[in-house]
Amino acid sequence: MTTTRSPSGARRPAHTDVAVVGGGVIGCFVAREVLAARPTASVTVIDKDLVAGGATRRSAGLHFPRGASAAVRAMAAESQLRLTALAATRPDLPVHPLPMTVVAAAGTRLDETYLREARLRPAVGAPHPLIQLPAGTAGWAVDGCHYADVPALTLALMAELRPRVPVRESVTVTRLDPAVDRTRLTLSTGETLEADHTVLAPGPWLGHPAWRDLVAPIGARVKKIVALHVERAPGPDDGVVVFHEEDAFLLPYHHRGHWLFSYTCTEWDVDPERLDTALTGADLAAARDVLGRYAPHLVEHAVSGRVFCDAYHPDGPQVRPLTPTGRLVFTGAAGGSGYRLAPSLALRTVRLLEPDPEPEPASASAPDAVGAAPSDAFAPSVRKDPT
């Protein structure tokens, strides 16, 4: 992000090749993929809060190889490859493989939802001594599952990027002005930034005044998310249990010393600026009702939790151009699966950015990124400096 002055001495807007608005896990992966595709690109990340705040801070971090639609399954497969490679090359990252069991009604075609990599097979007995299988249900063992401390992972990856990527924290974009060859971003600091390409990764902040009208045609909505903390220490070999019909899961949070129970809250169209993040009696009752069907002995230990929200779309996560030129792109509406699908969302975002008619030569020092966009992924605008 560079600022210059015109011959008359007037201060020109700062410039960046790519501006990423949103410093959560999706925005972090987007910044990484931009630099993998074009190592010499200038990238600036802007967030109204701190990096890894918002929904990323409260993410359960569960990854498992499934998707509710063919499109989401393709994204899950793509992300699985990238997350597995990342964990192998960065063993210091807080990524924890663990066993997984799916509980579903007998006869459910789980193979229509889970990837082949899951290697679905009948489980022997209940997945945990405290969990009971209701009549007519059965368990299936699943491979390829892990969970991550998502805020810690995001901060670690962003720390790696910071020497090359200016990060503007607690800086709000107050206005977006798209043009044919660039977008001008007005910032809360009074500065302006001109970006050849801009990626909006706003999480649940779909209604922010700077981009509300641009994003509204996508048709995404914001839903409240509630997860309970079950104050009972998991054993070292305990795995995650997914309750298929309820779209809920019980996750051993080994790094925090408790279990996390996530269920489907049905409170829609919440405003992240006004959402009360305090756990209510109604939240507790709804979650305990689901938990009690499978683990009644854990209900009394479910006494706290986390409340936040995320953007959802009926067709799954979205990567969409917001202008005819494709220089302003939305990525998100991951429906609570931002971490699980972030690598795929980032790859698809980079692929969507305008192709360059004159490809930049590959750099010998470019970081290797499996499935990254080609090196001609970004077209620099023809600049007409203001006088």
Q: Which residue has the tokens 């807080």?
A: 94
Q: How much is the pTM?
A: 0.89
Distance CA 149, CA 156 (A): 11
Amino acid 354: pLDDT:
57
pLDDT, position 380: 45
> Which three-class secondary structure state does DSSP give residue 234?
coil
Give the number of other CB atoms < 10 A from CB of residue 382. 8
* pLDDT value at residue 372: 36
Query: What averages of pLDDT result for each successive group of 10 residues across the chain (387 residues)?
Result: 47 89 98 96 97 96 95 96 95 96 94 94 89 94 97 98 97 96 97 98 98 97 98 96 96 96 96 96 97 96 97 96 95 96 98 61 34 43 35
| Structural domains in the chain, sorted by start | 13-96+146-220+315-377 (3.50.50.60), 100-144+221-312 (3.30.9.10)
What is the C-alpha to C-alpha distance for residues 150 and 93, in angstroms, rounded to an integer?
10
CB 52 within 8 A of CB 155: yes
Q: In sequence order, which residues have a C-beta less than 8 Å from that of residue 142 and are 6 or more positions away? A: 64, 65, 100, 101, 102, 114, 118, 119, 120, 242
What the block records as the tokens of 264 is 């489907």
pLDDT of residue 359: 43
What is the pLDDT, as a whole number, of residue 125?
83
pLDDT on residue 353: 86
